[in-house]
Structure 1
Amino acid sequence: MSRKVVFTDLDGSLLDHDSYSHKAADALLEELERDQIPVILTTSKTRAEVEALRLELDNRHPFIIENGAAIYIPKGYFPVKPEACIEVEDFWIAEFCETRSHWLSLLEKAKELFTHKFSHFAAMKEEVIAQVTGLSLEQAQLANNREYGEPISWLGVDKGKQEFIEWLTEQGGHVLQGGRFLHLSGFCNKGEALAWLAAEYKTQWNLSEIKTIAIGDSGNDVAMLEKADLALIIRSPVHAPPKLKRLRGFFISEEFGPRGWNSGLRKIL
């Protein structure tokens, strides 16, 4: 037996880049649920942010947070708790990299070399986070409730930005360019998390095949867009589509955000 699983980025993909609305994709989301095709929210966002959105979407499936740092599986979702998972509250959690405190310590050291060249969420007031992201104050509080990585706003010139990224990499960090921010974490990514969860689906549900579909719009989605069986790149109003190494099995939407998500995914399905 074969099953499809959809792994989707949020900001700029399922959610509109400016308004964060998912209205244009709601009808298809309902159809996917009826057809028993899981939609896995796969994002740089925090657990708190995703839990709020899951309630809004009535999504009961596992979700991937902070660019693949951890997978949260609702307890009892699979017949057996995966061996690699820890059990916390109502979830089985698979963790793939170091916690936020490790990266905050590294950024303190970086301030000595890159003075006044960057800021990051832990150093910002939540009112400022709301301003730079377009989120409400309540949403900004959720966005700052990070567990594994740290979003960074680069304030200097592009040349210095590359030097900054290289320095963080030399210190053991992994830096991804998102739609708005640099994201610093360990060497985890959405692609490895996708592969782990797809394998778990296949084993736990005793399937002959899992067909994965990844949807994203920016650089921090590339790993899962490369890893999935099929990839849908969502056009962005603010940046060019990310470039992939794969030569087949990928599509680029004609429209932006959730409109492109809806029309593009319908063509793939």
Structure 2
Amino acid sequence: MQPHLIVFTDLDGTLLDHHSYSWRAASPAMAKLAANGIPLIFNSSKTAAEMRQLQSAMGIRAPFIVENGAAVVIPAGCLGRREEQVVNFGADHAQVWRALMVQRESGAPFRGFSDMSNAELAGHSGLGEAEASRARQRLGTEPLIWQGSSQELGQFRAALEHAGLRLLQGGRFWHAMGRFDKAEGARFLLQQYQEQHPGQPMVTIALGDSPNDQRMLEAADIPVVIRGLNSDQLHLPSQKHPMRSLKPGPEGWNECVLNLLFEYGY
């Protein structure tokens, strides 16, 4: 029996080009996924507002996982839902921001998205101001720019961990967040798809390029490391036999996904 494939993907630096945010180079593989009814599930540091915009631009309708696992959003019409469902994991944004303010009062030098105007964030990220506005609508995490030394960063990380939070490095920013990760949302959605397709074998493919993708990749049947700025920091267990792209971003994504679809008879 041909397995039912589910694809979980990071966005920035993986499906989206690190500099231009374009996904066009991945269009052939994306079209083949759509033609075969294989769900393409975004699992990224991006917000729900950003992912809705991207899905609309790409013509995709599927569940998605926001802010490094802060919440899963299941749109109406997906997985049998009549109305959109949002499932939250871990601390919400207000709790994270309160903890960060405690550290700022202790002298921690950082600048978060909540400190920035849309124009300032646009300057740091390369986003347009409308896109920056969507990026600032947070449910459970706070991206930030660290402005201190590496020693101070270690102290900052330890203080956040003491407060029950985590600090992860993304492709462009650090992310302060609760004790959840990208794998939790992926496991939750896998269970939902298994309930929709009882008795059918399922294979999960996950693609990412930086340390905040580590746990998502470890949880997948087939982890795919996309060449990028921080991809050399990803160290997966040898028994996972991770695939690594030769090209960066959407070009590498496209080649790896097409190869896997061929391998599984699609």
Give the structure-2-normalised TM-score: 0.93
1:226 and 1:246 in contact (8 A); partners too: no
* Residue number in structure 2 paired with 1:13: 14
Give the C-alpha shift of residue 127 in structure 1.
1.2
1:97 aligns with 2:90: yes
How far, CA to CA, are the matches of 2:15 and 2:200 in structure 1? 29
* Residue number in structure 2 paired with 1:149: 141
Q: Deviations over 1:40-91 (max 9, x none)?
A: 0111000000000000111111000010111111123223x5xxxxx9xx41
Give the C-alpha shift of residue 195 in structure 1.
1.0
* Residue number in structure 1 paired with 2:61: 60
Structure 2 residue corresponding to 1:106, chosen from 88, 99, 112: 99
2:223 and 2:240 in contact (8 A); partners too: no
Structure 1 residue corresponding to 2:150, chosen from 135, 141, 158: 158
1:220 aligns with 2:212: yes
How far, CA to CA, are the matches of 2:135 and 2:16 in structure 1? 15
Secondary structure at the aligned position of 2:240 is classed as coil
Secondary structure at the aligned position of 2:42 is classed as strand
Give the C-alpha shift of residue 183 in structure 1.
0.9
How far, CA to CA, are the matches of 2:201 and 2:229 in structure 1? 36
- Aligned positions of 1:245-256 closer than 5 A: 245-256=237-248
How far, CA to CA, are the matches of 2:184 and 2:231 in structure 1? 25
1:114 and 1:164 in contact (8 A); partners too: no
* Residue number in structure 2 paired with 1:35: 36
1:230 and 1:250 in contact (8 A); partners too: yes
Question: Counterpart of 1:188 in structure 2: which amino acid?
Answer: F
RMSD: 1.5
How far, CA to CA, are the matches of 2:77 and 2:14 in structure 1? 29
Secondary structure at the aligned position of 2:207 is classed as strand
Give the C-alpha shift of residue 239 in structure 1.
5.7
Question: Counterpart of 1:99 in structure 2: which amino acid?
Answer: D
Question: Counterpart of 2:184 in structure 1: which amino acid?
Answer: E
- Aligned positions of 1:117-266 closer than 5 A: 117-237=109-229, 240-266=232-258
Secondary structure at the aligned position of 1:247 is classed as helix
Give the structure-1-normalised TM-score: 0.92
Structure 1 runs (4+) greater than 6 angstroms displaced: none
How far, CA to CA, are the matches of 1:158 and 1:241 in structure 2? 17
* Residue number in structure 1 paired with 2:264: none
How far, CA to CA, are the matches of 1:59 and 1:48 in structure 2? 14
How far, CA to CA, are the matches of 1:118 and 1:78 in structure 2? 40
1:212 and 1:229 in contact (8 A); partners too: yes
| Identity in percent | 36
Secondary structure at the aligned position of 1:43 is classed as coil
Give the C-alpha shift of residue 247 in structure 1.
3.0
1:222 and 1:242 in contact (8 A); partners too: yes
1:49 aligns with 2:50: yes
Any unmatched runs of 5+ in structure 2?
262-266
* Residue number in structure 1 paired with 2:79: 78
How far, CA to CA, are the matches of 1:41 and 1:207 in structure 2? 25
Give the C-alpha shift of residue 231 in structure 1.
0.6
How far, CA to CA, are the matches of 1:265 and 1:241 in structure 2? 22
Any unmatched runs of 5+ in structure 1?
82-86
* Residue number in structure 2 paired with 1:84: none
Give the C-alpha shift of residue 192 in structure 1.
1.4
**Structure 1 residues 213, 77: CA separation in 2 closer, same or farther (over 3 Å shift)?**
same
